[in-house]
Amino acid sequence: MGKITVLFVLLFLFIRCSHAQTTERTIKVDGETRNFLLHAPPDTVRSGLPLVVVLHGHGGTGKQIMKETGFNDISDREKFIVVYPDGLNKSWNDGRKKSGDSKSNDVKFMEKILDTLKTEFGTDTSRVFFTGMSNGAFMSIVLSYRLNDRILAIAPICANMPVLLGKVYSLSRPVSVMLINGTDDPLVKWDGGKIGFDFQKARGYSLSTEETISIFIRENHCKTKPVHEEIPDINEDDGCFAEKYTYGGGLSGTEVVLIKVVNGGHTVPGGSQYLPKYLVGNTCQDFKASEMIWSFFKSRKGR
């Protein structure tokens, strides 16, 4: 192999390594091998960066939610580390006590991820954020309670407070919340109650969106009267529109924000119509959930 060829290959590998920043990782938790994808922004000092953990829905994977949300592109632009864990059997033990519930210690799994990234990357432990869709969103709510001292904010998509958790939910430290729910979600109903399709057995029970928001407001000592904004209806063909309600004035500057997607379904705004509308409802295309969530996270001041 000639010198020019060798130099070309080395240059190619260098360029590739400087941009290929998503890696597969494993951690042992209670004797089980747990998997997650790690994405770090290229060409930057990674010490002291914020951390965003994105949790997939039931039946999904870290790889699937990574593609669906597009957080990697935001990570590269805004300089934060993002992680996509895999639930065992594609499910999270989110405390709903539903049929077929995962029995894994997912809280411990998340603790180990946070510890690992603190050691290896020196992540900013005062700026740790969790978001997720459906089952993953319920899990983020559980984590705001169980790992309260390690999380600055959460942003659940398509979830409410589980009835069982609502009975004990309390925060020793404030946690900002952005909740994104559709009013026509056929699985996680806006008005609460049975979780799952009407033709299925119940996958647990939840409080209503209004009750959920009230708990977050109470625990963060936010103002009970929100600032209301209409999100521009830039796509009139998606069958829905969105409104934003911001409850500010909480402890340590916390906020509780509700994004109400009117006529929205069990979908990620700005994402794909992954199943037919007659099953999961409309997908709002007026905004991209991941961009709105990061803007919310970015505005949070570290502890």
Supply 26's token pair. 């494993």
* Predicted structure pTM score: 0.91
Sign of CA dihedral 38, 42, 46, 52: negative
> pLDDT-based confidence at 19, cuts 50/70/90?
low
> Over the stretch 169-204, which tens digit does the pLDDT of each residue have?
999 999 999 999 999 999 999 999 999 998 888 889
pLDDT at 211: 98
Say if strands 256-262 and 241-247 run parallel, antiparallel, or are unpaired.
antiparallel
Name the phi and psi angles at 242, rounded to 5. -130, 150
- How confident is the model over 224-242, as pLDDT tens digits? 999 999 999 999 999 999 9
pLDDT digits (tens, 9 = 90+) for 262-284: 999 999 999 999 889 999 999 99
What pLDDT sits at residue 108?
96
CA distance 275 to 11: 43
pLDDT in tens, 132-176: 999 999 999 999 999 999 999 999 999 999 999 999 999 999 999
What the chain holds in terms of domains, given with CATH numbers, is 22-298 (3.40.50.1820)
186 DSSP assignment: S
> 233 near 241, Cβ under 8 Å?
yes
Task: With cut-offs at 50, 70 and 90, classify the pLDDT of residue 21.
Answer: confident
**Placement of tokens 């590269």 in the chain:** 76
Other C-beta atoms lying within 10 Å of the C-beta of residue 207: 21
CB contact at 8 A, 280 and 265: yes
pLDDT tens-digit readout, 42-87: 876 678 999 999 999 999 999 999 999 999 999 999 999 999 999 9
